[in-house]
Amino acid sequence: MKERLEKLIAAAARDLFSIDTSTKLTRPDENFGDYATNVALQIAPQLEKTPREIADQLQLKLTETLAEYCNNITIAGPGFINIKLKDSALWDQAKAEFARTASGQKIVIEYSDPNPFKILHAGHLYTSVVGDAVANLLDSTGAAVHRVNFSGDVGLHVAKTIWAILFYESDGKLDSDIAWQKVQSLADKPLEEKSNWLSGYYIKGNAAYVDDQNKAKDSINDFNQKIYKIFEVNDHNSSLAQIYWTCRGWSYGYFDKFYERIGSHFEKYYPESGTIELGLKTVREHIGDVFKESDGAVVFNGEDHGLHTRVFITSQGLPTYETKDIGLLIEKWQDYHFNRSIVITANEQAQYMAVVLKAIEQFAPELAKASQHITHGSIRLQGNVKMGSRLGNIIRATEVLDSVNEANTALNGKKDDRVVLGAVKYAFLKQRLGGDIIFDPAESVSLEGNSGPYLQYAYVRAASMLSKTESDTLPADNLQADERKLLLKIGEFQEVQGRAVNELLPHHVCTYLYELAQTFNQFYEGNRVIGNDREAIRVQLVRCYARTLKTGLELLGIPVIDKM
């Protein structure tokens, strides 16, 4: 509807003044109209007329050409043209489906990216929720969306953890047989406990590495190579390898359980270990033309492109994250032949990723061009304090869910995981991507006001009403003011979804859904539906509203509830 009107207005301007405009319609204050355009103000200078004169001429013309959709076109202020839609146009708009703008396209979206052997913290919860919402948005455009997950199953953090297990379980002797016995003895423990056990050793290993206790640094670097070696020779038998594979399995098992709890689903996991060979091969092939050797390492000279210079292969001959990311992108390409590849991470990776993509651009420009990196802020504690495992103030992902569960149970006397998820996801998504999120376990996730449960409750009300009626008549004209206001708001959804997709910003959907639910709650207060003599029309309206709210909540990955 909006695009149609914009085209008609552009056509009118062309007819009247032989001028091309690219003016967009906006949603003005409800007192002015349903749509507004400032086209008269914009073209006035070049036509050397007053905006008011132009607006007058346009008003006459548009009253004619927009007659099918609009019944009132007025001029206000310095020359704004305000348009009021017919009720029938409002109904059409409210019932429209999403435009399938990316139908036939393949999109690979990678997000969440947890590290085995390390803690799954609040930041992982946040990035997962964001990724789900962005993927859902893309899905709504008709594209085939493939959700994948990249996880660091090799690398220094793994060496730190394994080293610490060996060191502390065998009294500093680094005896893998003794450590393996310990690992086996934990077999029957719950996944959560195993995961905590591992992340505890990561913290110890990291501390030892940083402080270089007991010459730990060299020793850990040595273990790093040993772990890469496990993959090189496909070792599943040595006690070190058994410790590695067993603990790795615990981590992945724990991730699966977590994703199930929050409703995330990945089509494929790409472990870093699987990207090494392809990454190394690719980088080595391009030593000379893209990469160069420097101090025994292989680097990409980002400074030539206004970026940082980064190491791709260390002087030990090991691939860094950079090289793994190259292998990963090529592997994704081989798997999917995507039109678009999107990676979501925290802000701190932004400039790093720019270097990797610039390097790829040198030898595979089409891959780099199809790739997009979007980033978000991190979770910070009250008082703008950063979380960090070494600071001992990490909030586990499950702690966030548990604390909200506690608050919700206290509020209404019973536990409901759907409401907890609604509250947490909405709290994270309602903020524009990019900035940090200040998280206070006690207060940040609200259950009232602008919150997930508010939306869920606003749906419950409508669902409850609809269960009490059989009414199924067609919509009618001559809407009353409150009815019209609600229908107008419902009709805004397509525009909001379009904008959220274009900008890959889910918070637009949150903002809109909250306004929509607010409009509905206001309508609900003042207008009886069931048993009213306008029941037929109002039931149609409520159906339309409920459908819109449900679709919106689904885009955000928030559970839709009939009764709560």
Partner RNA sequence: GCGCCUGUAGCUCAGCUGGAUAGAGCGUUGGUUUCCGGUACCAAAGGCCGCAGGUUCAAAUCCUGCCAGGCGCACCA
Are the beta carbons of 159 and 436 closer than 8 angstroms? no
Could you tell me the smallest distance in angstroms from the CB atom of residue 539 to RNA? 9
* 180 versus 484: smaller Cβ distance to RNA: 484
Query: CA–CA separation, 43 vs 335, rounded Å?
Result: 51
* 77 versus 249: smaller Cβ distance to RNA: 77
Q: Which amino acid is at 155?
A: G
Query: CA–CA separation, 452 vs 558, rounded Å?
Result: 8
Are the beta carbons of 324 and 310 closer than 8 angstroms? no
* 91 versus 524: smaller Cβ distance to RNA: 524
E strands present in 314-471: 340-346, 371-376, 379-381, 385-386, 437-439
Could you tell me the smallest distance in angstroms from the CB atom of residue 545 to RNA? 12
* 104 versus 306: smaller Cβ distance to RNA: 306
Q: How far is CA 128 from CA 85, 435, 554, in A?
A: 40, 16, 15
Are the beta carbons of 93 and 124 closer than 8 angstroms? no
Phi, psi (deg, nearest 5) at residue 297: -105, 165
* 180 versus 201: smaller Cβ distance to RNA: 201
Are the beta carbons of 113 and 502 closer than 8 angstroms? no
* 103 versus 210: smaller Cβ distance to RNA: 210
227 Cα distance to chain centroid: 33
* 29 versus 171: smaller Cβ distance to RNA: 29
The residue written with tokens 């346009």 in the block is 58
Q: How far is CA 178 from CA 173, 223, 358, 502, in A?
A: 9, 17, 47, 56
Query: CA–CA separation, 215 vs 218, rounded Å?
Result: 6
* 145 versus 505: smaller Cβ distance to RNA: 505
Q: What is the CA radius of gyration of the chain?
A: 29
Could you tell me the smallest distance in angstroms from the CB atom of residue 26 to RNA? 7
Phi, psi (deg, nearest 5) at residue 127: -65, -30
Could you tell me the smallest distance in angstroms from the CB atom of residue 216 to RNA? 14
Q: Which helix (H) or strand (E) holds 147?
A: strand 144-151
The 10 Å Cβ neighbour count of residue 452 is 31
Could you tell me the smallest distance in angstroms from the CB atom of residue 529 to RNA? 4
The angle subtended at Cα 341 by Cα 324 and Cα 101, nearest 5°, is 175
* 100 versus 386: smaller Cβ distance to RNA: 386
Could you tell me the smallest distance in angstroms from the CB atom of residue 153 to RNA? 8
Could you tell me the smallest distance in angstroms from the CB atom of residue 314 to RNA? 2
* 178 versus 368: smaller Cβ distance to RNA: 368
* 215 versus 563: smaller Cβ distance to RNA: 563
Q: Which amino acid is at 324?
A: K
Could you tell me the smallest distance in angstroms from the CB atom of residue 510 to RNA? 8
Could you tell me the smallest distance in angstroms from the CB atom of residue 68 to RNA? 22
Q: Which amino acid is at 90?
A: L
23 Cα distance to chain centroid: 30
Residue among 187, 165, 188, 186 at smallest CA distance from 177: 165
Could you tell me the smallest distance in angstroms from the CB atom of residue 464 to RNA? 3
Q: Which residue(s) pair with 107 in the sheet?
A: 145, 340
